[in-house]
Structures are given as C-alpha cells and as structure tokens.
Structure 1
Amino acid sequence: MVKLGNLIFKYRNLIFPLFFVLLVLGTKPYMDSGHLGKWRYAAGITIALTGQIIRALTIGLVYIIRGGRNRKVYAETLVKDGIFAHCRNPLYVGNILIVIGLGITANSIPFYIAGIPLFIVMYMAIIKAEENYLSNKFGQEYIEYIKGVNRFIPNLSGIIKTIKGMKFNWARLIVKEYGTTYAWVVCMILLIIKNQYMRYGSEMNKTAFLFLSALFIFVTFLYAVARYLKKSERLVAD
C-alpha cells in the first residue's frame, strides 16, 4: 500500500484532473424523478461545499507543504496546529467529500459502485505513504500525535477556540486554493447541465441553463483574477 501511495502521489497532478474529466464526459446519469433530482443536487453541492470549507480552514490557518518535494512525500516539520490539531488529514477529508458531492450530483451507478471507492482507496494509499514517511522522520513525536488525533473523523471539541485563536491568511488561501476550487465548481456546473440536457434535451429549463452559464463565466473570471494576482505577485501566500 505504501509503494502504491508513493506512486499515486508522484502522478496525482495528472490522475485527479483526469478523474474529474472522466466523471463529466464518461458517466451517464441514472434518470430519477425530477423532484428527487433537485434534492440530489442540493445534497451533492452541500457535501462538496463542506469539503471545500474544511480545505479552506486548513489552508488559511496553517501552512503545510501539500505538494511534497520532487513529486515525493515530504515534510519539513510535523504540523500539529490549526485544523491538524483536530484531524490528521483534513485536506484529504475535504477532497473525499468534494468527490462524493460530485458523485451524488453525477448520479452515475457505475461511479457509485467503482468511482468513489477507487478514489477513496487511492487516498488511503497516499495517506499510508505519508504516515510511513512521517513515522520514520519524526518518530516518537508522530506516535504521540496520532494517539490524540483521528486520521479522518475530526474531533470538534475546541475547534472554535482553535479558529478564533489563529490568524486567518486570506491571501494564502486564494493563492494556494483557487485552482482546486475552480476545478470542482466547474465540474459541478457541467455535470448539472449535462444531466439536465440528457433528461430534457432541448426542453431543459432555459432559466436554469442561463444561470449555470452565467455562474460558469463568473467563476472563470474569478479564477483568471486570482491567477493574475498570483503570477504577478500582487498577492503572495505568506
């Protein structure tokens, strides 16, 4: 599992965007009732937003080298502050929730059966690789840390105190997170448009289509602004 995790970590910048593309282009929605579909969209969006909020809090409160070094698992220090004081893998928990939210929105039976479990297995492999690295590098300090902090389920006790007690770095959040946020939001928009078109064809709700199209343009504009601010160094992470 550790070897698999290191391999996935090395190529994850290619694997996970491809995963999103296949979700949009390679899945066919199960056609449930229109009324149920609205609740499904609401559930999918809510779960994905919850994942994004977890990621935002994690990145905004404490900096962590998320991309490794030379495409390998790497850490300079053992981060135990911020959301990491309540959950050992908050970024991955956020990612999994986003994927589950997208999967619910896609409403594809094969994706339910194979896609979501495969995604979770890939993240479990990465986590195993990271845990192996951290255990070898930080030894007893890491052992003591994992005794008091869950791998996945956040311990919400004291989390408000944690958030209030730390400065939130909005610049870092935008610089580090704009690409990920844009990717899943666009994926969500395209999934809803595709599902509606496959169900209703040319009779799909025009108002909904125009709203989703306008939302796509708006988030693309925000993405372009964030990218410009980052590349021009008008906005820096720290």
Structure 2
Amino acid sequence: MVEKAKKDGPNVRFPPPLVYLGFILLGRILDTLLPLPSIVPQAEFEWIGVALIAIGIAIVIVSMGLFSKAGENPEPWTATEVIIARGPYRHSRNPMYLAMAMIMLGFAFWQDSAGTLFFLPFAVLAIDRFVIRAEEEYLARRFGKGFLDYQKKVRRWL
C-alpha cells in the first residue's frame, strides 16, 4: 500500500473562526451564570459594537478577496505559494484574526456582554499561540528571507 505524501503546510488543527465563536459562547454562558456588570454605559452606545462588527466583516471580506486573487486558500492548514503583502496585509500580518477579534469585541459591546469581553484576551492568546505561531514557522520555512523581511516590516497584529 502506497501512502500519499502529506502536502506541506502549517500545523494548524482547527478553524480560527470557531475559536472566536467558542469563546463568545463561553462568554454568553458566563453572562447567564454570574451577575456581571454592564459594559455599555447606555443603550445608545450599542452602535459602537455594530460598527466594530461591520468593520471586522469588511476586513475579512477584503482579505479573503486578496487570497482569491492570488489563487490561495485562506484555510490556515493549507500550503501556500505566495506571501500576500497588499491591502490590510501591509499593516498587519494577520488582518483576518485581528478582524475576528474586532467582531468579538463588537459583539461584546452590541450585546452588553461582559462575559464575552472577559474571554476576548483568551481568544486572542489562543490564536496567537496555536495558530499564528504555527503559520509563521511554516512561512519562515517555506519562504525564508522573503518572509523574514516581511516580518520585520509588518507587525503581527497592528
């Protein structure tokens, strides 16, 4: 029996949007279990949350469009042929993960969810440690100096 060779790619084992979604759900559970304080001073400020969600969604759409134009798959466990350094990738090496964090923050404000706000740093930390590190190790191996130069010019988050 002949095994297919595994295609090279980052060692990411789960979809990052599910990480954020999971922490949002944990936050909502925390909201129902504990009498947490309000994080939105007045209902009129909920629009800030909606705006953050909209901006986050727009960043994800633009970023995915850049992947599509480059013929790349945005799934973080797949191999890649190019470093995308245009659009939001000029300012952040991880604009989609940053956008997902913005969406989570926006959800916390929109829904006045102290539990979601509480879990936001844990979501960002999980993405940073278990997804971004694996991706960056892979990209450094795959592209060498090209990726290291990009890393020097563009910050990981902002």
Normalised-by-shorter TM-score class: 0.7 to 0.9
Which digits, 9 at most, give the CA deviation of each residue in 1:70-116, with x for residues without a partner?
A: xx353222222333233211111111100111122233334333x11
Equivalent of 1:122, from 120, 126, 140? Answer: 126
Deviation at 1:53, TM superposition (A): 1.5
1:36 aligns with 2:36: no
Query: 2:48 touches 2:106 (CA, 8 Å); kept in 1?
Result: yes
Match of 1:51 in 2: 56
Question: Does the residue aligned with 1:10 lie in a helix, a strand or coil?
Answer: coil
Question: Does the residue aligned with 1:27 lie in a helix, a strand or coil?
Answer: helix
State the identity as a percent. Answer: 23
Equivalent of 2:148, from 143, 146, 149? Answer: 143
TM-score (norm. length: structure 1): 0.51
Letter in 1 for 2:152: K
Equivalent of 1:105, from 110, 125, 132? Answer: 110
TM-score (norm. length: structure 2): 0.72
Match of 1:67 in 2: 75
Equivalent of 2:14, from 7, 11, 15? Answer: 11
Question: Does the residue aligned with 1:87 lie in a helix, a strand or coil?
Answer: coil
How far apart, CA to CA, are the structure 2 residues paired with 1:123 and 1:116? Answer: 11
Query: 1:58 touches 1:91 (CA, 8 Å); kept in 2?
Result: yes
Relative to structure 1, is the Cα distance of residues 33 and 118 closer, same or farther in structure 2, using a 3 angstrom cutoff? closer
CA RMSD of aligned residues (A): 2.9
Query: 1:27 touches 1:108 (CA, 8 Å); kept in 2?
Result: yes
Structure number with greater CO (CA < 8 Å, separation at least 6) is 2
Match of 2:86 in 1: 81
Which digits, 9 at most, give the CA deviation of each residue in 1:126-184, with x for residues without a partner?
A: 1111111111111111111122222222xxxxxxxxxxxxxxxxxxxxxxxxxxxxxxx
Match of 1:177 in 2: none
Query: 1:87 touches 1:149 (CA, 8 Å); kept in 2?
Result: yes
Letter in 1 for 2:89: F
The alignment of Structure 1 onto Structure 2 pairs a total of residues equal to: 142
Structure with greater helix share of residues? 1
Match of 1:202 in 2: none
Which digits, 9 at most, give the CA deviation of each residue in 1:21-74, with x for residues without a partner?
A: 4444552374659971221x1111111111112112222244242213xxx353
How far apart, CA to CA, are the structure 2 residues paired with 1:132 and 1:46? Answer: 34
Match of 2:139 in 1: 134
Q: Which 5+ residue runs of structure 2 have no aligned equivalent?
A: 1-9
